[in-house]
Amino acid sequence: MINLEVPKKAKALVNQARQAATEVFRPISRKYDRAEHAYPSELDMLAALLDGLNTSGEGGAGAAGVRRGDDDKGGNRNGGNLLTVLGTIELCWGDVALLLSMPRQGLGNAAIASVANDEQLARFGKLWAAMAITEPDCGSDSAAITTTATKDGDDYVLNGEKIFVTSGERADAVVVWATLDRTQGRAAIKSFVVEKGTPGFEVVRLEHKLGIRASDTAVLRFDNCRVPAQNLLGTPDIDTKKGFAGVMQTFDNTRPLVAAMAIGVARAALEETRGLLAEAGVEVDYDKPVNAQHAAAATFLRLEADYEAAYLLTLESAWMADNRKPNSLEASMAKAKAGRTVVDVTLRCVELAGTLGYTEDSLLEKWARDAKILDIFEGTQQIQQLIVARKLLGKSSKDLK
């Protein structure tokens, strides 16, 4: 059974994350939204602090992984995944783009933590790793990847192009998804760690975006890029029975993290709007029925209820990962609910705030722009609903498209 209170062991981490969000992220949030592609140098000291927390064994300060092979000593646990989700919520209450800009906290780091062997963890654990999945002709359908990895002696040769790679220019390395054999379908898709400076690896351009402008989003090209065979994460064997499961394990971890980002942004918008409503004389009364309150208060209560549902789904999916329970369904449910909720919450908060919501006098308009990507990356809303439907109905990807 899940205790809905924040675990005692997490309270210090949550307080530290809230302090960093308040004192570091919020004051520079608007500055780097306007200065797109400029690196937020203020984050370097904070990143060093988070590295220290991870090294000390406190956990929850960086990208965590679902280590399915870890020993299970029994009993319920609140481990690294739940701590990371709670920390992510607090930091994204400050600014989601700045969190995405943090060194060594990339989604590629979560992929390495999830599927790398012990030797690879030792080699790549301290790198800042981006994640490269999406291609020009392959959006939400990760199984349709066309980037190839051809074995040549002790190397793999990568050819292809990746788009919308978060931290693609700034990161030390990129976790690239590529297929070993296109005739074998999704079972042949593997992930490779490609370090910056590798011949044949080129950053083509940076994108100009609607939101999360402080975070660089790059287009990458791989032209006969030779990568050592030991940089393939996991096993090189093509197991058609296991299919896509090995690679999808990464999503079981990263989707709750993206859901947590959405929770943080939604909570920021709700708190700001509650204050603006109070200044306007609109009271949100939790002891009165909705239909007996001001229309703005009724709308606020509905938004807050959606937020609470998304929050609890996100905590559940992370708790399941910590306790070695299959969480693919719950991870997709959390991502779908949180992604849709943050978009709805931020846009409605802009409306409730009136003129203040649409100007740069408040961060509400920025949060509304930032929110949309949280409903798109790591699998769009539609893809998450498709995954949930397959799981609930017992259908395969061939049966339900």
Q: Which are the catalytic amino acids?
A: 378
Q: Rounded to an integer, what distance in angstroms lies between the CA atom of residue 177 and that of residue 163?
A: 12
Q: Rounded to an integer, what distance in angstroms lies between the CA atom of residue 260 and that of residue 40?
A: 22
Q: What is the DSSP string of 303-315?
A: HHHHHHHHHHHHH
Residue among 389, 306, 297 nearest 352 (CA): 297
Residue among 296, 366, 305, 365 nearest 337 (CA): 305
Phi then psi dihedrals of residue 285, to 5 deg: -105, 115
- CB contact set of 58 (below 8 Å; sequence gap of 6+): 13
Q: Rounded to an integer, what distance in angstroms lies between the CA atom of residue 15 and that of residue 189?
A: 40
Give 76's DSSP letter. -
Q: Which residues pair with 130 in a beta bridge?
A: 174
Q: Which long-range contacts (CB under 8 A, 24 or more apart) does 23-27 make?
A: 24/94, 24/98, 25/91, 25/94, 25/95, 25/98, 25/99, 26/94, 26/95, 26/363
Q: Rounded to an integer, what distance in angstroms lies between the CA atom of residue 261 and that of residue 150?
A: 36
119 three-state secondary structure: helix
Burial tier of 347 (Cβ tally within 10 Å: 0-12, 13-18, 19+): middle
Residue among 137, 238, 131, 245 nearest 180 (CA): 238
